[in-house]
Amino acid sequence: MTYKVAVQMDPVDAIHIAGDTSFALALEAQQRGCMLWYYHPHDLFLEAGVIKAVCQTMILRDDENDHVTLGPRKECALSTMDVILMRQDPPFGMAYITATHLLEMLPANTMVLNNPHEVRNAPEKLLVTSFNDLMPPTLISRNVDVIQRFRAQHKDIIIKPLYGNGGAGVFRLQPSDQNINALLEMFFASNHEPVMVQAFLPEVVKGDKRIILIDGEPVGAINRVPQEGEARSNMHVGGKAEAIELSARDREICAKIGPELKRRSLMFVGIDVIGNYLTEINVTSPTGMREMTRFTGQNITGFFWDAVDNLKGSYLGNGPVRSIPHKD
């Protein structure tokens, strides 16, 4: 099927297309005959009860030096779109949350992916705690005494901002480090949220696996290996992507979380697995599709649009997911 597709994302003319999943998703849609529009999150607005955006038509090319042509800026009612891809990067702040509230107001004939209500209720570092049996020892707290107690128990720890992305603000504290109080003071001086604290997993030196699930089913994985001496494997901070197959444990994790992701209309999700442990469930703007396609030869973005085709007629809306009553 062909659709009118709007992509809500950060400036499209500034992206590096070789590793940009938003570009890959939109390019696949264009190749299937879809018409594309682009708008920045700042250009989303509500007027007289109508959700609108200042949009531009968009034509894409898989050419790093000349990848996009944008049309003139023009206001449009987003209810005229068939599909909206909510693809701006975190931070998951009030601007992001406001955008989910606005997009949630759109009628069911405009499918917003991922479902904005469920995205708002599923920050990546909080949703994962619903599967405590799959995780490493984890604490979410702003209380310095509680964090110190957790560190005394687990010795070697990782501290992460609760609503960050791309490895920014993530640091490791080994047993010999004496600066935890200073680091927490610095962090809490500029942030009002708790932090996530996890036991350090030595297996990270072998890589942090990113697994993509489409409509609750795993479609592939890449392994992100950190630079020597670095605890973070994110490609934003120099991690190297490698080909890797799904292990039996990976499939076990996916089988346990997949039904809940599907129930929430979280169609495109990227999970992070280190060793045998699930560490994050990324629902806001998951990445890794282009690398995965290069390594596997499979059309990973095609799986996404196939799922859209399968769900379009039965999509229940952009608000809270409703259970379908059973018929006796």
Catalytic positions: 125, 160, 210, 224, 232, 272, 280, 282
Q: Give the CA dihedral 225, 231, 233, 236, nearest 10 degrees.
A: -140
Gap between the Cα atoms of 289 and 293, Å rounded? 6
Encode 275-314: b = buried (16+ Cβ within 10 Å), e = exposed.
Answer: bebbbbbbbbbbbbbbbbbebbeebbbebbbebbeebeee
Beta strands in 23-62 (DSSP E): 35-39, 44-47, 50-60
Query: Is 149 within 8 Å of 157 (Cβ atoms)?
Result: no
If 0-12 CB within 10 Å is exposed, 13-18 middle and 19+ buried, where does residue 57 land? middle
For residue 195, list its beta bridge partners.
141, 161
What span, in angstroms and rounded, lies between the C-alpha atoms of 307 and 214? 7
Q: Which of 9, 63, 65, 64 is nearest to 36 (CA)?
A: 9
Q: Is 281 helix (H, G, I), strand (E, B) or coil?
A: strand
Token look-up 């479609």 returns 219
